[in-house]
Structure 1
Amino acid sequence: MNKFSLSEIYVYPIKSLGGFSLNEAELEEKGLKYDRRWMLVDENGTFITQRKHFELALLQVSIADGKLTVTHKLTPAQYISFGLDEDTGIAVPVTIWNDTVTGVEVNPEVSNWFSAYLKFKVKLVKMPLAEKRFVDRDYATNDEIVSFADGYPCLMIGQSALNGLNEKLQEPVLMDRFRPNFVFTGGEPHEEDRFKTFYIGEIPFSAVKPCARCVLITIDQQTGEKGQEPLRTLASYRTVNKKIMFGQNLLPQALGTIRIGDEIKVVDWK
């Protein structure tokens, strides 16, 4: 019997910017606390990501003392900070994929900093606590809600999956390309594809569907440079219905604290 253990926890407070690791994290209804609660939008209110703007990879986010700080990875003197509770109170309709929800601008000074960096006008918005963005009804089990994440509250990848990919690559890649919330050790590559219901520590989850990958995984998160890998290699052995799959989207079935070292116990397999 394989033993699975949680080895890494990550949150990405601002969608498509650098995330950070934690030893423990609070699981809320929309996902891990602070995860994808902020997002950059253009003048039309449409979300902005690394898919088009590779330079976002070079912006690192940290949280300390009630403040969120964004720092340029290569020039740390370039940074901006704001309070976690800070916002203008002015509601802004924002679009993420097929959803239109309400965001609130943090403040114009912060938006101007990002606009100067990207060289076009953007706003940084946060998701109000009361805002409900529903998970795709085809996959929801109980009207689950999600933050500004692409589609689901949590994403999990087995370390074995990355190890198996790196064995096929000329130059290995880091896990940060895939932006998971949870990484676990144990089992064969892509064993998470077979998880149906399981526990991380004391918290039950259901595995919804594999995560379809895009051009974002070809961007080196340390340099902001784009290549062809690992998407090209993954396409050769992880294509299902014309989509390249890597990682498993999750729906939490309870709230609580998750810690590195928690055992992952599979209840039902697909």
Structure 2
Amino acid sequence: MLRLSALYRFPLKSGIAEPLRQAEFDGLGLAGDRRWMLVEEGSGRFFTQRAMPQMSQLSALWNVAGGLTLSAPGFESLEVDVPENTEQSLRGVTIWRDTLRVPDAGDEAAQWLSAFMGRPTRMVHVPADRARWLPSGYGTVEDKVGFADGFPILLIGQASLDDLSAKVGRPLEMLRFRPNLVVEGSEAFAEDGWKRIRIGEMEFRLLKGCSRCILTTIDPKTGERSADREPMTTLKTYRERDGDVWFGQNIVNDGPGTLEVGMPVTVLE
């Protein structure tokens, strides 16, 4: 039987994962997931672990009011409230090909994060009415995304990771791939062929495979890159297609709802 075996929230894009037993879902996917992002102060260009691996050590815990608690080794924790969604608070930012204006979290958070990052940094928040559209050709006019790369939710089958670990020759951490949902009980890469699934009472559409990058070579515990460039080296031997390496599925939820670890998963299509 297929079941939901893990739930993860990433309140801050490229920050530490928050394991969950239960999660609410709204119009942007998992509530509180990737609603915050760090940007370069001058350009507004987004930061991720790809260029800033120290972000793997940055914890940003989400609270029910939507704010964050920032913490990192050697730093005192800082509470950050959701900024007001007003014209005066807006900052222009760029994430991949998208440019948008979103509320800035303020100077106190910027000073704390600039010290941690070692360069002038601002933090921004995306309210629902300022969210981005999905990449052209995917989803519907109702589907939007916060600060995730392109799609609101990432699903990975546990068997797919087990298969990759066996080929690499050592256990790999699921969090290298930063999924929101992990499903167990299927064959390796079975999720590649799914189009619609139900988890509990919620339904999801699988829109596109997830192309992977160097971020997967960063140890989520230490922030260090793998000297052997694993797991990308092995993935390229059997998961490369059209110049990209694929692992996991980008999905969207049809309406709000609640998931709990252990819920049954049904493939509808």
TM-score, scaled relative to structure 2: 0.93
Query: Hey, what does 1:256 align to over in structure 2?
Result: 257
Instruction: Give me the whole-angstrom Cα distance separating, in 2, the residues matched to 1:70 and 1:83.
Output: 7
Query: Hey, what does 2:2 align to over in structure 1?
Result: 4
CA-CA distance at 1:12 after TM superposition: 0.3
Query: Hey, what does 2:70 align to over in structure 1?
Result: 70
CA-CA distance at 1:201 after TM superposition: 1.1
CA-CA distance at 1:88 after TM superposition: 8.3
Greater shift, 130-139 or 3-12, is seen at: 130-139
Query: Hey, what does 2:241 align to over in structure 1?
Result: 240
CA-CA distance at 1:136 after TM superposition: 1.1
| CA offsets 1:91-127 (integer angstroms, 9 cap, x no match) | 0111111111222111111111111111111101111
CA-CA distance at 1:70 after TM superposition: 2.2
2:268 alignment partner, SS class: strand
Matched, 1:51 2:50: yes
Query: Hey, what does 1:108 align to over in structure 2?
Result: 107
Q: 8 Å contact 1:210–1:248 — kept in the other structure? A: yes
CA-CA distance at 1:86 after TM superposition: 4.0
| CA offsets 1:124-147 (integer angstroms, 9 cap, x no match) | 111123213100121123441001
1:26 alignment partner, SS class: strand
Q: 8 Å contact 2:155–2:251 — kept in the other structure? A: yes
Greater shift, 134-143 or 216-225, is seen at: 134-143
Greater shift, 141-150 or 32-41, is seen at: 141-150
Q: 8 Å contact 1:206–1:250 — kept in the other structure? A: yes
1:130 alignment partner, SS class: helix
Instruction: Give me the whole-angstrom Cα distance separating, in 2, the residues matched to 1:142 and 1:88.
Output: 23
Instruction: Give the ranges of 4+ consecutive aligned residues of structure 1 lying more than 3 Å apart after TM superposition.
Output: 63-67, 86-89
Instruction: Give me the whole-angstrom Cα distance separating, in 1, the residues matched to 2:142 and 2:136.
Output: 7
Query: Hey, what does 1:218 align to over in structure 2?
Result: 217
CA-CA distance at 1:60 after TM superposition: 2.0
Q: 2:25 aligns with which of 21, 27, 34?
A: 27
Structure 1 residues 64 and 79, CA, compared in 2 at 3 Å: closer, same or farther?
A: farther
The total of aligned residue pairs comes to 263
Q: 8 Å contact 2:28–2:128 — kept in the other structure? A: no
CA-CA distance at 1:214 after TM superposition: 0.2
Structure 2 unaligned regions, length at least 5: none
Instruction: Give me the whole-angstrom Cα distance separating, in 2, the residues matched to 1:64 and 1:34.
Output: 8
| CA offsets 1:197-243 (integer angstroms, 9 cap, x no match) | 11111111110011000000000011110121111111111111111
Instruction: Give me the whole-angstrom Cα distance separating, in 2, the residues matched to 1:214 and 1:150.
Output: 12
Matched, 1:85 2:85: no
Query: Hey, what does 2:12 align to over in structure 1?
Result: 14
Instruction: Give me the whole-angstrom Cα distance separating, in 2, the residues matched to 1:52 and 1:137.
Output: 26
1:163 alignment partner, SS class: helix
2:116 alignment partner, SS class: helix
CA-CA distance at 1:253 after TM superposition: 1.4
Structure 1 residues 197 and 41, CA, compared in 2 at 3 Å: closer, same or farther?
A: same
Instruction: Give me the whole-angstrom Cα distance separating, in 1, the residues matched to 2:130 and 2:37.
Output: 14
Amino acid at match of 1:85: V
Amino acid at match of 2:220: Q
